Amino acid sequence: MKGAALMTACVSAYVINDAFMKLLFSEIALFQAVFLRSIITVPPILIMVWITKVAIRNLSKQDKRLILVRVGAEIFITITFLTALKHMPLANVTAILQALPLAITMAAALFLAEPVGWRRWSAILVGFVGVLIVVRPGLEGFNIYSLSAFMAIIFLTVREISTRKLKSEVPTITVVLSTAVGSTLFAGIMMIGSEWDTVSAVSWLLILGAAVAILIATLLSVMAMRIGEIGFVSPFRYTSMLGAIGLGILIFGDWPDQPTLVGTVIIVSTGIYTFHREQKVSRKATTQ
């Protein structure tokens, strides 16, 4: 339950960050926004590292590799997700990302050897049909940015699985610091030779709000994936859809169309069924 609460708060913070970043993209370039957000998040993390005196060295080779994989995945998430977010309604991008728990369940079966029966495999396939309804390949609602959002699911899955495989001795703040530093360096490199847009006072407030939101979301994301069981925690990502629809309507005036709502219902329903099956299998294994 603690993991579920952390995940609910985590996705709420992510949606707030997404809304602020989408507003920023109308004023400044994508990588400039990411770079400015990142340089604000790094100092507080360094302060937390100094206060808590956690070790940022003495990691095993496997943990170092996993952290590098996680940082790389985070960079690709930044590219794919924010590119889609810049050109698509907030609710549509978030709807596609609702397939993430299904993708994680599939990855856990393939790479963590977690048992997944035919019912849950069927739910995963039906869930991805829901994704296709939202994406609508070959129809008017489809564009290349829909594929970008779908690619973000793949990199998000890599990030979560690599986080899960980290040893419990690795401090959460170490993982968060490496992610923040990696994102900052990457955004800075991408800004080389690019034109620097003037940042207004309102934009600075949005950058600050996004930085606070993404810092909180990153901390809670790592904690949630390391505290709770994947099968129990992941479905609570669906609560982000409510916030995305609400903020999309209030801030951007974007009402989700019928295919988006239908696809979202299918994805969420199959995800909840997957959660139900995992709990049933878990209880059965415990009684045996």
State the burial class of residue 23 (Cβ atoms within 10 Å of its Cβ: 0-12, 13-18, 19+).
middle
Q: Structural domain tally of the chain?
A: 1
Q: pLDDT by residue for the chain (288 residues), tens digit each?
A: 777 788 888 989 999 999 999 999 988 999 999 999 999 999 998 998 888 877 666 788 899 999 999 999 999 999 999 999 888 888 788 878 877 777 877 887 777 676 667 777 787 778 777 777 766 655 555 568 888 988 999 999 999 888 888 887 888 888 888 988 999 999 999 988 888 889 999 999 999 999 999 999 988 887 887 776 666 676 677 777 777 888 888 888 877 777 778 877 887 787 777 766 666 766 666 665
**pTM metric for this prediction:** 0.76
Length of the chain as a residue count: 288
What is the tens place of the pLDDT at every residue in 202-261?
999 999 999 999 999 988 887 887 776 666 676 677 777 777 888 888 888 877 777 778
Distance between terminal CA atoms of the chain?
Answer: 24
Residue 259 near residue 141, CB atoms below 8 Å: yes
Phi/psi at 139 (nearest 5 deg)? Answer: -110, 175
Q: Provide the residue range defining the domain that includes 224.
A: 2-287
SS (H, E, C) 266-282: HHHHHHHHHHHHHHHHH
